[in-house]
Amino acid sequence: MVGVVCYFVAVHAIGFYKDNCMNNQNRAIVKTTCGELEGVLEDNLYVFKGVPYAAPPIGALRWLPPQPFQPWQGVRAAKSYGPIAPQNAMALPGISEKPEPQSEGCLFLNVFTPGLDNARRPVMVWIHGGAFCMGSGSMQMYSTGTLAADGNIVLVTINYRLGVLGFLNLRELTKGRIPSTGNEGLQDQILALRWVKENIEAFGGDPDNVTVFGESAGAMSVGCLLTLPGARGLFHKAILESPVGEMARPLDMSVEIAREFLRTVEVRADDIPAIRSLPLDRMLRAQQIVAAKMGQGGAPVIPVADGVVMPSLPLTSLEAGRGLKVPTLVGSNLEEDKLFSMMTPKVYGIDEEGLRKAAAKFVVERDAEKLIETYRNAKASRGESVTPFEIYSALSTDVMFRKTAIRVAEAQCRHAAGGYNYLFCWKSPAAGGRLGACHALEVGFVFGNYDASFGGSGPEAEKLSKEMQDAWTSFARTGNPSGKSLGEWPQYSNGRAVMIFDKTSRVKEAPYEQERRVWESLEVLEYSNMP
């Protein structure tokens, strides 16, 4: 009897020992510069959520550059996402997200890695979009391990300060008593990249092979980072998906927006205590009002060419050869504007006179008709619809997005380590097809997490997603997006070679060339392409 008891005790003891060893092996614990973190093992990926990379920018730190996070004792849990930057809710067609907790103390990042080893995998740092006033690094679309697992890369997604807390220039109006340049959100991104440089090797990543990528406001952020002195040495490649306009505003425009903001909250510029103590909900309401008053659409505040953090407008710097000399992949979607048209349905009924007035906002009035006719003839030659709405949508898409993408590709081919250009032409099935190849549609395909109702489904969609993921991770690995899925992808300088992403992806030289060239012969209004 004693022998039997001893046997069972021994068996259970061995079993307990084995289980405990397995649990220890599977525990995702990493030592960082601030202390130890414990993440989770999900679908064969180690995931660390809600990792603080900066001190909470609250109280006396509001509107100041981000400060380092203080070290902690013991093991800190990193198993749930941190709160996101304060923001107003905004519904976008085809994009639905569960509400997330919000807080001014929002400076967290998330890490997805295939292994906690010394493999030194390429690192990809995602900067989310959202007009600099909404979104987060933990949105459902990004919080998937597909890109990291299939591409064998380490993926980092980040939060940064948004809206008036991250991009409001108060330095000029307060005579420096509140020193915010309007680039505090960009400085958050820089500190997150510094955290990556110092810590990512412990997560199986290579700190000497970091790619920054983003979409819309995230792509604009990447464009800014390419020109900021504070970002030098923190990343080695850049991907810009649908960057907008000049990617920042001149200082004088930003000062006027700040002045209107203070008028709206009814606080004098010299009442520093009142400004510093503004309630969050009051600021968010004022942010919306200012956007409407100043005609800034969904982007009330964006980065600022303040002359300190940002020496000059990003496109100006890139075209002058003052940007980082890193390989750059940049592109846009064929029908970006159709997402925004869904939010302003009256544009569907635009007539010829309305089209002419719209064109006259992009170029001087005498050139408006030439611009319209060029687009009409080009679309007709391809057998496409030439209704006033379709021409307006194409004009708006190109002036805001495609022109910027092309200018970035040209500048990086000329001055840096090369530039690659793409055009995403896959059409959304949503809203009876009215969205077309709209803004943000490509993001789900890049992350392997596209929604069937918005992005589509079936073998062709799966193939497209695989192609984009392979290209993005190949670029992150080598600086060249060519690979097995797509074959050779030449640089844009080779005959204006563009990768067309569609049901059949392919390289095409100088697509939509009539539309591109007409802008070179017209007098474009200054800042007509500013968001």
Tell me the pLDDT of the chain (531 aa) as tens digits.
334 333 233 333 333 333 333 334 467 999 999 999 999 999 889 999 999 999 999 999 999 999 999 999 999 999 999 999 999 986 555 555 678 899 999 999 999 999 999 999 999 999 999 999 999 999 988 987 899 999 999 999 999 999 999 999 999 999 999 999 999 999 999 999 999 999 999 999 999 999 999 999 999 999 999 999 999 999 999 999 999 999 999 999 999 999 999 999 999 999 999 999 999 999 999 999 999 888 766 788 999 999 999 999 999 999 999 999 999 999 999 999 999 998 888 999 999 999 999 999 999 999 999 999 999 999 999 999 999 999 999 999 999 999 999 999 999 999 999 999 999 999 999 999 999 999 999 999 999 999 999 999 999 999 999 999 999 999 999 999 999 999 999 999 999 999 999 999 999 999 999 999 999 999 888 655 556
Closest CA to 217 of 294, 154, 161, 140: 161
The pairing of strands 419-424 and 497-501 is: parallel
Which one from 184, 260, 336, 390 is the annotated catalytic residue? 336
- For 378, counting Cβ atoms within 10 Å of its Cβ (0-12 exposed, 13-18 middle, 19+ buried), the class is buried
Region label for 428, one of left (φ > 0), alpha (ψ between -120 and 50) or beta (otherwise): beta
pLDDT of residue 266: 97
| Three-class secondary structure of residue 394 per DSSP | helix
Q: Could you give the residue range(s) of every CATH 3.40.50.1820 domain in the chain?
A: 32-325, 327-531
CA distances from 193 to 35, 156, 208, 264 (A): 18, 10, 12, 35
Contacts of residue 406, defined as CB under 8 A and 6 or more positions apart, other chains included, come to 421, 492, 516
Active site residue 488: no
DSSP secondary structure, 326-339, as one string: --EEEEEETTTTHH
For 297-330, letters b (16+ CB in 10 Å) and e give ebbbbbbbbbeebbebbbbbbbbeebbbebbbbb
Which one from 143, 341, 396, 439 is the annotated catalytic residue? 439
- Helix or strand holding residue 199 (H, E): helix 184-199
Task: Write the pLDDT tens digit of every residue in 106-138.
Answer: 999 999 999 999 999 999 999 999 999 999 999
**Which of 3.20.20.70, 3.40.50.1220, 3.40.50.1820, 3.30.830.10 is the CATH number of 32-325?**
3.40.50.1820
Active site residue 128: no
**Which of 3.40.50.300, 3.40.640.10, 3.30.1360.10, 3.40.50.1820 is the CATH number of 327-531?**
3.40.50.1820
Active site residue 336: yes
User: For 421, what's the count of Cα atoms within 13 Å in the CB-facing half-sphere?
Assistant: 26
51 φ, ψ (degrees, to nearest 5): -85, 120
pLDDT of residue 143: 81
Do 291 and 300 form a contact (C-beta atoms < 8 A)? yes
Which one from 216, 317, 341, 474 is the annotated catalytic residue? 216
Q: Cα-atom radius of gyration of the chain, to the nearest Å? A: 24
